[in-house]
Amino acid sequence: MNHASARESVVAAARSLFSRSLTHGSTGNLSVRVDDCLLVTPTGSSLGTVEPDELSLISMDGEHLDGRAPSKESFLHLAMLKARLEACAVVHTHSTYSVAVSCLGGVDANNVLPPLTAYYALRVGRVPLLPYHAPGDSTLGPAAEAAARHHHAMLLRNHGPIVAGTSLSAAMDAMEELEETAKLYLLLGDRAKPLTDTQARALGPG
């Protein structure tokens, strides 16, 4: 993917997330790896209005190369891509139901959502809940990198989901599956009957 098409893909994905209320205001950020650099949405921008030429270009070491200043959470994108060499895109949103689950007490931080559907097991798998850090706090980077070695999706405590994928569309699909499963989980409560561990392992990325 060249830089021009990557920019168009990021903006199209951003518009899609915003138009379906999976982000709001200036929340959420997206990135795509192009060659040895990362295109990432800029800090303080709305995913509903960001333009291709406003995207930030940074090195894989975090150096700002071109465009507007990058998202203050770009370090999380870099951490996940460093841990998952097969991944080339990261999606982070503040989508309502995933954020709600990230705020719950008494959940399993090693696997915060049960596999309620086959598609969740297939596209998402086990999702850890990382400890709370203030937005932009770079000390979260090492924890995210460590978790990403085993999981391509995670929830940030009292914050929201972040997902890496082998393509932007794969990351989007997994993030949306995570959001829908969070919604089901909150709707069903203790009436839910998840897939068994055997059923989930047969489908999921683990």
Q: Is 176 a catalytic residue?
A: no
CA 154, CA 111: separation in Å to the nearest integer?
A: 9
- Cα–Cα distances in angstroms (integers) from residue 16 to residues 22, 37, 88, 115, 163, in the given order: 9, 24, 19, 26, 16
Verify whether residue 73 is a known catalytic residue: yes
What lies within 8 Å, CB to CB, of 60 at 6+ separation is 33, 36, 37, 38, 78, 81, 82
CB atoms within 10 A of CB 149: 11
Considering the candidates 73, 145, 177, 179, report the single residue annotated as catalytic: 73
Question: Which member of 54, 86, 119, 176 is catalytic?
Answer: 119
In angstroms, the Cα distances linking 121 to 37, 177, 185 are 31, 9, 14
Using CA atoms of 72, 27, 119, 107 in order, give the dihedral in degrees to the nearest 10.
80
Residues belonging to the active site: 73, 119
